Structure 1
Amino acid sequence: MSEPLLLGAIEAGGTKFLCAVADRDGTILTETRIATTTPVETLGAASAFFRDAQRVHGDLSSLSVGSFGPLSLNPLAGDYGHITSTPKPGWENIDLLGHLRQTVDAPVTLDTDVNCAAVGERLFGSGQGLDSFCYVTIGTGIGVGLLIGGVPHGGANHPEAGHIAVPRAPGDDGFAGICPFHGDCLEGLACGPAMAARWGVPAEQLPADHPAWPMEADYIAALCATLTYVIRPDRIIVGGGVMQPPMYARVRAALVARLAGYDASMRTIDMDDYIAAPTAGASAGLTGALALAYRTATRQWPMHWRMAEPFHANKETVDA
């Protein structure tokens, strides 16, 4: 008989924190949604949730957090576990890991929200059966998660591919970009708020034949070309609010043009398979965080889980 295992997870986003406690089989025992306001309010509400959960269900075996960033993930760094130079007001230099370690007397691990979503996709979505792939989200920002050899990659710290410099798309020479650090980096040119700033309306209100869409596809293809040349992943999974269904064909065509027939192995890539939509559900990040908590506690992945959409029972927002 397996010994008891109680797993905690947080998907820490810029608008909400999803918190959950699950058992060894990935069954959600309790969960909540907390509005991301100030660090004191939001982290206080998260701590209260886990304290209450432990009073009811017992002590956690491990807690894993997938957070917006940038994050300091190098254990040797003086600010290890902090959210660093984020544009999210009030959250710069917040010791996220330290706060949670004061709440939970168990191993607490921290990774990016996109790496956790990539783990969720590997277990239950478009990354199943793959050892190396990228997970890209195009929304409020642009983030890239990376799994190599079946595990999240961080190196000295986590990748920040959303802030690479990319060539200007045709017809986009006059837009300055909105990134507060780089101006016209990829995120500054192609995230959802950049599209709204350039065209005057949110991306979802633009008609299908608007020139915004081929321009956006060109920028996403530039990112995918860089990932292809540098990493050679098995697949690039692209999601986020900007990636409406018609965008996939546009991105695939733009990527073929950018690769320009270079390297015979690239010419054989099946673009319909290579550029894929995420399929693990809206809570893939929370799923991935729970899986990382399981791996922390057991040193293995929960391959026996059958969970595609963990965040289901308690949909209300807790206003901290």
Structure 2
Amino acid sequence: MLVGAIEAGGTKFVCAIGNEKNEIIERVSFPTTTPEETLRSVFNFFDQYSLASIGIGSFGPIDINESSDTYGYILSTPKIPWKNFNFLGAMKERYSIPIGWTTDVNAAALGESKLGAAKGLKNTMYITIGTGIGAGAIVNGELLAGIGHPEMGHLLVRPHDKDGYEGFCPYHGNCLEGMAAGPSINGRLGRAGKDVDVDHEVWGFMSYYIGQALVAYTVILRPERIVLGGGVMNAPGMLEKVKKQFSSLLANYVPIPELDNYLVKPGLRDNAGITGSIILANEVK
């Protein structure tokens, strides 16, 4: 049995064919342009196969409320051509098969919880810290959702005493994403993170905000493990900086697992999202 999977990112789409063992058989990627052009590439790839189902993990915000009139839509994204686009509807119009629909970070959380760094655990989190910040949570073995999906990247954070930056988020300014995602480096310094020395104070500011958020997630959700992915977390020494800030801010308030087993890198590396989308395809009814 073959299933299709899409990891729909704001910069690129990854499409894959998987099997019932959640293995990747074939994959392609292409830039995210307009919906029409991007979906043409999606259709050209999937049309080559007879698929039992498809799983989609999409950039957002998206509507996951099945009783909503805009279920399956990408909502207020800054990518203007995709704003209020009926992504799921366009896929269902093309393929008369079951299609699973969730966020890209939820898909990554699913992948890591089933086959990655959080395998075998029932209460986990995956957070990606890159161009933006988003997170998905697994609670009692199920993806956390309410009236919509979590938007954990927009948690408000307390400014660092020495950081005068006001944040780049157009909605909240100094939320976690506005203060700690990749573009905040350019906003402060006028250059990309790859051009900034590992000992520059900006990394300390960002790890301080990430540490605050991880404390909030810890005391609210009480996960067994938090998986941290994304380009910012790949910066040299960043994970250790985050662990240090987290430990200081948590102040031993609640018990957690040993720190090196609590805050970890993705086990699936760059395949977390697309693997999660294959799992979603295999689980959709």
TM-score by structure 1 length? 0.85
1:152 is matched with which residue?
Answer: 143
1:314 is matched with which residue?
Answer: none
Q: Secondary structure at the match of 1:249?
A: helix
2:195 to 205, 220, 231: 205
Matched residues in 2 for 1:253 and 1:162: separation?
A: 20
> Are the counterparts in 1 of residues 153 and 177 from structure 2 also a CA contact under 8 Å?
yes
Matched residues in 2 for 1:20 and 1:250: separation?
A: 35
Matched residues in 2 for 1:73 and 1:85: separation?
A: 14
Matched residues in 2 for 1:47 and 1:153: separation?
A: 30
Residue 254 (structure 1) aligned with residue 245 (structure 2): yes
Matched residues in 1 for 2:239 and 2:17: separation?
A: 35
Among all aligned residue pairs of Structure 1 and Structure 2, give the percentage whose two residues are the same amino acid: 41
> Are the counterparts in 2 of residues 170 and 215 from structure 1 also a CA contact under 8 Å?
no
Residue 295 (structure 1) aligned with residue 278 (structure 2): no
- Stretches of structure 2 that go unaligned for 5 or more consecutive residues are none
Shift of 1:87: 1.2
CA RMSD of aligned residues (A): 1.4
> Are the counterparts in 1 of residues 65 and 71 from structure 2 also a CA contact under 8 Å?
yes
Residue 12 (structure 1) aligned with residue 8 (structure 2): yes
Q: Secondary structure at the match of 2:68?
A: coil
Shift of 1:46: 0.9
Q: Secondary structure at the match of 2:248?
A: helix
2:94 is matched with which residue?
Answer: 103
Matched residues in 2 for 1:103 and 1:12: separation?
A: 17
Matched residues in 1 for 2:269 and 2:243: separation?
A: 22
1:110-151: CA deviation from partner (whole Å, max 9, x where unpaired): 111111111111222211121111101100000011111222
- Structure 1's 272 and 29: CA in aligned 2 closer, same or farther, altered over 3 A? closer
Letter paired with 1:197: G
> Are the counterparts in 1 of residues 12 and 29 from structure 2 also a CA contact under 8 Å?
yes
> Are the counterparts in 2 of residues 12 and 18 from structure 1 also a CA contact under 8 Å?
yes
- Structure 1's 137 and 27: CA in aligned 2 closer, same or farther, altered over 3 A? closer
1:81 to 69, 72, 90: 72
1:178 is matched with which residue?
Answer: 168
- Stretches of structure 1 that go unaligned for 5 or more consecutive residues are 298-320
> Are the counterparts in 2 of residues 87 and 180 from structure 1 also a CA contact under 8 Å?
no
> Are the counterparts in 1 of residues 23 and 275 from structure 2 also a CA contact under 8 Å?
no
1:262-315: CA deviation from partner (whole Å, max 9, x where unpaired): 24x25xx42111111112121211111001111125xxxxxxxxxxxxxxxxxx
2:81 to 85, 90, 95: 90
**Matched residue count:** 284
Letter paired with 1:274: Y
